[in-house]
Structures are given as structure tokens and as C-alpha cells.
Amino acid sequence: MALTPAELVHYVDHTLLSPTATAADVAALAAEAVALGTYSICVSPAMLPVTAELGGVKVATVCGFPSGKHTAAVKAAEAAESVALGADEVDMVIDLGLLKAGHPEATQAEIAAVRASVPAPKVLKVIIESAALTDPEIVQACRAAEAAGADFVKTSTGYHPAGGASVHAVELMAATVDGRLGVKASGGIRDWATAVSMIEAGATRLGLSGTAAVLTGGRSAGY
């Protein structure tokens, strides 16, 4: 795929989810996102509302982050508050234990509870921590997300010890949702080649914290 940095940047959720992030850090993130032309910024719920001038850059946040070990009611309430504070998109973490225990219907139910708090045209992405799942579990998670009305499935939080995005997981997720949902690759994408490989595998959105460095790598490589 012959992508240029000017094209790839439109896939990017420019992300800052550090526990030590300050309002000044978010303001700097927003300014950089506007300068680079990213699709959105992604910040923690406690950093909402974002008061910086964003132009057309969207605001995304997270829910049940990073462990997913919150009740569905708590996740739904967190998502509702984030939407009320101006979030355009919510990236929720599923309870991995539900899938591991063989209860994909419970996964679908918790996603549906959050979806009810994130009404269209707001966007709901479902983080499945693909590196911690088997291939059949990845498929189950994607099917649960689709059945519950989600807009995207997303590989990773970037905080799980099993790792972040992989080309294999993105390919499997993309094949499972088959264009009906978006696929976000996130976690460990730190260079141009990796970013492009995720898009080639079927990702329609990228979660990047080092966006400028990735784009510089693309320009340095002659793209």
C-alpha cells in the first residue's frame, strides 16, 4: 500500500493516556494534533472536557480502562459522563474473564450497556486485548461487539503484559467484521513500517502516542 504521511495521519487517534498527564499536557497534545492533522485525540475521562481549540479534530476517551474489570453499570455510567463532557468517541475495555470463562453472551451484554450510553452518532470502539486472547476468542469478541451495536473493534489498551497490536490479530479481526465495523490497531505501534503494516492488514484507525515520530519516519523513508 503506497501511503504518504499526509494520508496516514488521517487514520490516527493521537493518544495520551498516562496517569500523570496534566491539563497542560492535554493542551499540548491538542495543539500537536491540529498541527499534524490527526483524526482525533484520545485522552483519559478525567481530562474532559477538552477546552483547547481543536478545529475539526475529534475527541475520544476510554472507558473501563485499562483492566476492563469494572461492572457493566460502572462502564455505562463512565461512558455517559464522558459523552456529556464532549467526547465524540468512547473506547471501552471488555472484561476478558467473561470470554475466558466461555461467556461471550455476557461480553455482548456489557458492550450493549455501554452502547446505550454512547448513542449514535457518537462512536463506540471495543478494546478486546487481542494479544491475551486465542484466535477463537478474538472472533467471539468481534462477533459480540458487532451484535451489541459497536462501531469498531480495537486490538489493545497498550497496557496489557501480553502485548499490543499484531498484524495477525488485525487481519483476523478485519476478516471477522468484514467491513461492517471499523478496526483500530493500537499498542506498540512506534514506527512507520509497523503503522503501514497495520493498515495493510485491515486497520481503519490507528492509536498512536508518538504520531510525529511515525510520520517523520515515513518522510525519511521517502514517502
Annotated active-site residue 184? The verdict is yes
Find the catalytic residue in 75, 95, 151, 154. 154
Asked, as a colleague might, if the bond just before 66 is cis with ω within 30 of 0, I would say yes
Peptide bond between residue 5 and the one before it cis (omega within 30 degrees of 0)? no
Contact indicator for 32, 14 with CB cutoff of 8 Å: yes
Q: How far apart are CA 195 and CA 188, in angstroms?
A: 10
For residues 60 and 178, what is the distance between their CA atoms, to the nearest angstrom?
24
- Residue type for position 116: A
Rounded-to-integer distance, Cα 133 and Cα 2, Å: 31
Q: Residue 154 catalytic?
A: yes
Distance CA(218)–CA(61), nearest Å, equals 27
Q: Are 184 and 13 in contact (CB under 8 A)?
A: yes
Active site residue 91: yes
Going by the DSSP 8-state scheme, the letter that residue 221 receives in this structure is: T
Identify whether the C-beta of residue 206 lies closer than 8 Å to the C-beta of residue 36.
no
**Which of the residues 91, 95, 125, 151 is marked catalytic?**
91
Catalytic residues: 91, 154, 184
